[in-house]
Structure 1
Amino acid sequence: MHHNKTDLLALAKAVIETEIETLKALPARLDDSFVQACEAILACQGRVIVTGMGKSGHIGNKMAATFASTGTPAFFLHPGEASHGDLGMIVNGDVIIALSNSGTSDEILSILPVIRRLNVKIIAMTGNPQSPLAEMADFHLYTGAEKEACPLGLAPTSSTTATLVMGDALAIALLEARGFTAEDFARSHPGGRLGKRLLVHVRDIMHSGDEIPQVSPEISLQQAILEMTRKKLGITSIVATDGQLLGIFTDGDLRRSFEKGISSLEQPISALMTTRFQTITGNRLAVDALNQMEAHAITVLPVVQDGRITGIIHMHDLLRAGIA
């Protein structure tokens, strides 16, 4: 059978439109059961265990992952494996979310009587409120579709999308109810970009100790240039004997000094240093340092505490840490 490009695009658009119509109908099907399901999960002393066969199982896996990353401890349990020992994972106080479009999945129905003996709440997501699964559950959430996007009406398409979206609705409603923050999200995603931007502090990546380029105010311009060259950060700090930061001198300052015409490399650096400059503290987020650098068109910031220099942070440090 040969399809031309127009046929294929038309088929794709029809699938998308069918699934959109299913989702449009979903909000009207929400009722008190959704609220009760949320309250059951919020009151849960254990974990949320999501289970489903076939395509529903794939959706269930994603649902459990979304719950876990938004403050609701959860995992996926394969119903086929459950009857071979994995039911031991379910303990008093857990909440079960069982997914089945027909509500007649044998694998799920066969383990529910055992689960019912435990002190657990069962939330069913099905496309049939009169199904055995819906009847056995404490709460039922309708996730059916009037029409599957599959032209044969057989492959779970619209119904699995509806289930996916209902899972997201539950997860985000719970996230809001728990007061889950961006910082909480970052802690469960420490390797991700958001995690880095919200968890990495200036003190974690700044240059400190012997790595800090610093000279005393009476040091000559030549000596200051040597210190800048040794430490390779394009800057040196000028520090008093009591540790107070008096000024900074950067590569840019050096270029501008040459443009003006330097009389001697033996001039004291105190005569050439910049005394008005940006600083940041070590307990600030690294992303704050990035924003400050971008706002003032600079690439390096002295890190100070009580007027004393504790480190230097460079744009390259932010790039290496995945912040910039």
Structure 2
Amino acid sequence: MSVLRIGTRGSALALAQAQTVAARLGAELVVIHSEGDRSTASLASLGGAGVFAAALREALLAGEVDAVVHSFKDLPTAPMPGLTIAAVPKRVDARDALCARDGLSLAQLPAGARVGTGSPRRRAQLLSRRSDLEIVDVRGNVDTRLGRVGAEDAERHLDAVVLAAAGLERLGRSDAITEHFEIDGWPTAPAQGALGIETRVGDEAAVAKIEHRPSRLTAETERAVLALLEAGCSAPIGAHALLDDGLLFLSARVYREDGSEYLTGSHALYPDDVPDPVGELARRVTDELLSAGAADLASLAASRELDGPGGTE
């Protein structure tokens, strides 16, 4: 039998993520370059995080590789015909982390501090906590972003950046973290910290042994919120699902872009009690958010009639 070929982007983080998968499957890596990797334009102007997945999926459909590794949060919520998420390995830390100069926390940053992020959600969350901050749109790999923290060049200088704790951990850069933002008050991107291993339909068995069912359940429940709200990575939305003693919890938060206001919806259910726990729980939460005005708050596409005053049970 030939060696399994796993496609990955060429960034240090993508390679680190893919290598953990390849090691468990005895596979070889094939580096594929995307438009998102080559461009320095803002993520929103390129069409969102899905730009990173496009080249990987094209290679998979063309038979150039047998599977591809995605940061699950970067995938569009709409499925790709002919492809399937065949495995979701065990999820790691879903939190965001602040990496600031001089070991400072968010509260300790000086007035008007320059904080870098390319995420509209993180921008809104930062401004929600500190409306005085100057939020700077940044692109580039983790080392490039970290290199701007405390830089002497005034144009490049940042006082801090916000990054995913999982990425810093996978790159061995956790030492740069000066503060972790706890999920309860700072929900992160749906499926942050999870990987999605995609194959062609019918080839799922090749990667099935690394599937971690609880991680898939929580990640897919969070992503279902985006799908139901008809939102993508450019929407300031955070979500977190948790499976505890058989009970699946989901909380999602929608922010106004300037961070001045937000709405939260939360529900829980036992997955065994309903035919489609992912869809049902996400529907309850998004109905609650929409009934409270989330579509107008964040200019979301979704706006549908709800059953009853609150739209939830």
Q: What TM-score does the superposition give when structure 1 sets the normalisation length?
A: 0.25
Between Structure 1 and Structure 2, whose CA radius of gyration is higher? 1
Instruction: Pick 1 or 2: higher relative contact order, CA cutoff 8 A, min separation 6.
Output: 2
Of Structure 1 and Structure 2, the greater strand share is in 2
